[in-house]
Structure 1
């Protein structure tokens, strides 16, 4: 079974975690004991670990991700785990050259025994674009150009002319070769129409929304898939969670999520599953307990309900 099929099954929901596996204030985590926690998450049945692409620390944004380069850190965690899926959430296509992106993808797929899932985005921090000499006004075009160049580069001796990133004339080949399909999930809209995402991506990564908005979004996603004659593609989302020690505690709002006991967390996730959400990426940043405690309790009490 591929890593993608392990986390994305129609009418079923699975759970993953995003780095840092840490509860912390401010934008910069300590990144301690992450290897131990990643192994523990795998043992407990979480289906994926997710890595973010954050080139710079923007103090106004308040989130520097896992600090380390996503490809480097994914390789590091790969060597401390065995089978859990390794996902990017998300690689900023306009700010990375497609050749280097494909080189990294192919290398990691082979070295990890095909555990990589590629979340992709146009970026949510405009201040980064000048550092790469990229025009923010062009980010939608840059995203599409990179997307299709990546697709071409995954073939043999590619012949492709990119508007922004160069061209290959069929006389050179990119190694190592990885001929199986690497899933590419678009995050948010990344400057694209939902019809474009439904046609070209392998799934959609979205953000936490209230249930009424989620139902509307899911209906729009289904309609977009119907337009391009696709029966189903997975829908995934992030969710910030602070797990209370009282299992029966009712939810209180936190940024892009809630604090609650395990009983409400299970009920919330079951409702997401009923709406068609296939994978939820849990973020523990705003936790009032340690990540180790929350991962253990979620793994023991929540994950079994979605395995």
Structure 2
């Protein structure tokens, strides 16, 4: 069992019975479209997030643009974008939510993740998934029905090559009889977070991953999922979820649902109350997807950082405040 409290990204972000906040880069505004924020505009948001004290920054992985999927996905490759983020930050945990294991070779994934972890001084949180855009599987000549075994294969291959020197591997996609993957992670492991069920049982996820990244849903259902996770994880493994929020100027504005996805428009007071409710049911980290129909995203980020974040600070930030 790896003690990930020695991993700076994990320790900054997760603590039992507590909730912290991260953000995802706002690269979309309208359904089916990708907003082409310049790289510098995105880095301005990233630097602001770190300065304000957010625990993490997550980016998504959508290899192909599918205009019929319902959202446009992301503009940049997640590993390249996060490498650029690493060069412009010092403390912010960085993560994928989530890398598509079925469409990426496990040896490439292992090397990319280990590279990011070393370059960031162990700040990388590795969310992984099976993929959900139907058009991508024929494009990559991958049988969609093989998603469950390809996901398991990726986890098993990555863990082995991170830990062992010159490992021997024979799997569906790997025939490794010589050579090695470098660099090796400093802890001989990187925290892995499965997304949803990823076509696995909760028992398998609890044994082979280091936390659960689950979809946002109604509080009662989320409480039941969290309890299921806790029943299978005798030692602490964090529970993470995204949350789409359109923050209105009136801090007392009542919530209204965001269509299609689980999220809401509201003033900041409802957001604070809702985050406390998530903490009470056992959520350890919320990755905010901040979007707006009317306000500059920079203003929303600043408001969350000034009024909401101090109630749910990163743990490094807590230590600084108490010293």
Q: TM-score, normalised by structure 2?
A: 0.90
Match of 2:182 among 175, 179, 185: 175
Residue 195 (structure 1) aligned with residue 199 (structure 2): no
The question of whether the paired residues in 2 share the 8 Å contact of 1:15 and 1:47 is answered with: yes
Secondary structure of residue in 1 paired with 2:286: strand
Q: Does 1:156 align with 2:165?
A: yes
* Equivalences for residues 236-247 of structure 1 within 5 A: 236-247=240-251
The match for 1:184 is 192
Alignment partner of 2:135: what SS?
helix
Partner of 1:195, secondary structure, is: helix
Aligned-pair CA distance for 1:63: 2.3
Determine if contact 1:24/1:286 at 8 Å carries over to the other structure: no
Q: Given that residues 121 and 143 in structure 1 are in contact (C-alpha distance below 8 angstroms), is that contact kept between their aligned partners in structure 2?
A: yes
Q: What is the number of equivalent residue pairs in this alignment?
A: 301
Say if 1:248 and 1:261, in contact at 8 Å, map to a contact too.
yes
Name the counterpart of 1:281: 287
CA RMSD of aligned residues (A): 1.4
Secondary structure of the residue aligned to 1:239 is strand
* Within-5 A mapping of 1:207-218: 207-218=215-226
Mapping for residues 1-307 of structure 1, pairs under 5 Å: 2-20=8-26, 23-24=29-30, 26-32=32-38, 33-154=41-162, 155-162=164-171, 164-169=172-177, 171-180=178-187, 181-225=189-233, 230-254=234-258, 255-307=261-313
- Residues 113-157 of structure 1, C-alpha deviation per residue, up to 9 Å, x if partnerless? 111110000011122111111100111111111111111111211
SS in 2 for 1:118: strand
The TM-score with structure 1 as length reference comes to: 0.94
1:65, distance to aligned residue in structure 2 (A): 2.8
> Secondary structure of the equivalent of 1:126?
coil
Cα gap change, 1:36 to 1:24, in 2 (>3 Å): farther
Cα drift, residue 99 of structure 1: 1.0
Partner of 2:3: none
Could you tell me whether the CA contact under 8 Å between 2:244 and 2:264 is conserved in 1? Answer: yes
Query: Cα–Cα, structure 1 residues 80 and 280, in superposed 2: closer, same or farther, change >3 Å?
Result: same
